[in-house]
Structure 1
Amino acid sequence: MTSIPPKLTAIVQDAPGKHTATVIFMHGFGDSGAGWAPVGEHISRYAPHVKTVFPNAPAIPIAVNGGMLMPAWYDIRGSLNQDQAQDEEGMLRSRQQIMEIVREEIEVHGVPANRIVLGGFSQGCVLALLTGLMAEYNFAGLVALSGYMPMHTKIMDMVSEASKKTPIFWGHGDADQMVRYEYGQQSVELLEKHKYNVEFKTYHNMGHSASNEELRDMLEFFRRTIPAEVHLVAKV
């Protein structure tokens, strides 16, 4: 019998204004939602109609660290190599947990999928891509920062038709020693080969981190994909 993974905790920042859109953003390996919460404060100032959700990854045994418990979305079994076997079971389990958050936004809070952006950094980027590409929903957008494609040899056999309408913003530093820049390039090439609309931004001399320039570009992506809704009142 398949066990149901526990519900994730999250740092949630309600929209300062009328809530009409949501950003769900996943942190990287060893981090927590609190690590990205300051970005949510910037989003709130820039787009007061947007609620931000920063889920916390559970602490799981990490093989490369001798089984030590660390916050992670899936196990790491060796040095990062796209041809290395990935922890698919862990990825899919985390995807299921993120989908619970997505469905709560849609079914409880009344935010349609086309007003939801999924994003993430590093491991969180991998999870955002897996969740967004497999979902039955047409999301407003996907944000992929300093990551790589999950299950790259089979993911395109698992994607939904709805996901092909979802725009993707991909940012990567060309000095990244953790997730090599070439992995980002190869991932984007795979997506574009299958007709996905990807905006790929290179950040010169940036390592495995996020820069102010990249965050500004991400906010601009939000402005285009989840703009403030303006309701026109007909004149009588």
Structure 2
Amino acid sequence: MHTLDYITAGKDLLGSGKALIMVHGRGGSAEDILSLADALPVEDFALFAPKAAAHSWYPYSFMAPIQQNEPWLTGALHVLKQLVTDINVQGVTNENIYFVGFSQGACLTLEFVARNATRYGGVAAFTGGLIGDRLYPHHYTGDFGGTPIFIGTSDPDPHVPVSRVHDSTALLEKMNAAVTERIYPGMGHTITNSEITDAAQAVFAPAALKK
């Protein structure tokens, strides 16, 4: 099972006042996802990258019946909850907490923020959607208060159907998120420079305006 274990980089949290939680994908690592920060405009952020046990947040597809991915999914969501709480305790409000995830990490990130919707700084989900064999609206509570959320994916993608991305976008918008959805024909299961540019504009440009 997962425990709260993470690595950090970037600015000191107390000095920056802004946190970016970066969630790696299946088979990836905290170090891998932290390297993505080099391509994003987050030089003045404190960076946090939690580690999944055995490099996987849950064992089966994100579109498997939810119970098949338990208790790992609940444990993974709890890790993110603990990390957000730890950041809050250090004086940083949710409005100054941002999230980035790739693949399985993008799915987990979207699932976490939707189950704990409030005004976050922003969310960038590189190839992901809400988790389950179908969407379960009763799992999701709160109001995003206009939180900018970017969701990008390839068409096609071997793991994430575009239809699930569309459905996730619609649900998040109903919860008052400002969603930017981008579908990239033939991109493959990866992150491209174009996608990074789009995500930076959608999620982190508003942060720059707060300086």
Deviation at 1:57, TM superposition (A): 1.0
Match of 2:85 in 1: 103
Matched, 1:29 2:26: yes
Relative to structure 1, is the Cα distance of residues 222 and 15 closer, same or farther in structure 2, using a 3 angstrom cutoff? Answer: farther
2:20–2:45 CA contact under 8 A, matched in 1: yes
Counterpart CA distance in 2 for 1:216 and 1:92 is 32
Relative to structure 1, is the Cα distance of residues 181 and 113 closer, same or farther in structure 2, using a 3 angstrom cutoff? Answer: same
Match of 1:14 in 2: 10
AA of the residue aligned to 1:98: L
Counterpart CA distance in 2 for 1:36 and 1:210 is 11
AA of the residue aligned to 1:162: D
Query: Identity percentage over the alignment?
Result: 22
DSSP-derived class of the 2:85 partner:
helix
AA of the residue aligned to 1:34: E
The list of structure 1 runs, each at least 4 consecutive aligned residues, that deviate by more than 4 angstroms after superposition, is: none
DSSP-derived class of the 2:183 partner:
strand
Match of 2:73 in 1: 91
Relative to structure 1, is the Cα distance of residues 205 and 222 closer, same or farther in structure 2, using a 3 angstrom cutoff? Answer: same
- Most deviating of 174-183 and 208-217: 174-183
AA of the residue aligned to 2:141: S
* CA deviation profile, 1:66-94 (whole Å, cap 9, x unmatched): xxxxx111121xxx483x31314321211
* TM-score normalised according to structure 2 size: 0.85
Deviation at 1:104, TM superposition (A): 1.4
DSSP-derived class of the 1:163 partner:
coil
Relative to structure 1, is the Cα distance of residues 156 and 224 closer, same or farther in structure 2, using a 3 angstrom cutoff? Answer: farther
Relative to structure 1, is the Cα distance of residues 228 and 15 closer, same or farther in structure 2, using a 3 angstrom cutoff? Answer: farther
2:169–2:181 CA contact under 8 A, matched in 1: yes
Deviation at 1:128, TM superposition (A): 0.6
Relative to structure 1, is the Cα distance of residues 33 and 174 closer, same or farther in structure 2, using a 3 angstrom cutoff? Answer: same
Structure 2 residues without counterparts, runs of 5 or longer: none
Q: How does 1:132-211 map to 2 (within 5 A)?
A: 132-135=113-116, 137-151=118-132, 153=134, 155-163=136-144, 165-192=146-173, 195-211=176-192
Relative to structure 1, is the Cα distance of residues 225 and 150 closer, same or farther in structure 2, using a 3 angstrom cutoff? Answer: farther
- In angstroms, what is the RMSD of aligned CA positions? 2.5
Deviation at 1:32, TM superposition (A): 0.5
Relative to structure 1, is the Cα distance of residues 55 and 144 closer, same or farther in structure 2, using a 3 angstrom cutoff? Answer: same
DSSP-derived class of the 2:168 partner:
helix
What is the aligned length? Answer: 208
Match of 1:121 in 2: 102
Counterpart CA distance in 2 for 1:116 and 1:16 is 14
Ranked by relative contact order (alpha carbons within 8 Å, sequence separation 6 or more), the top structure is 2
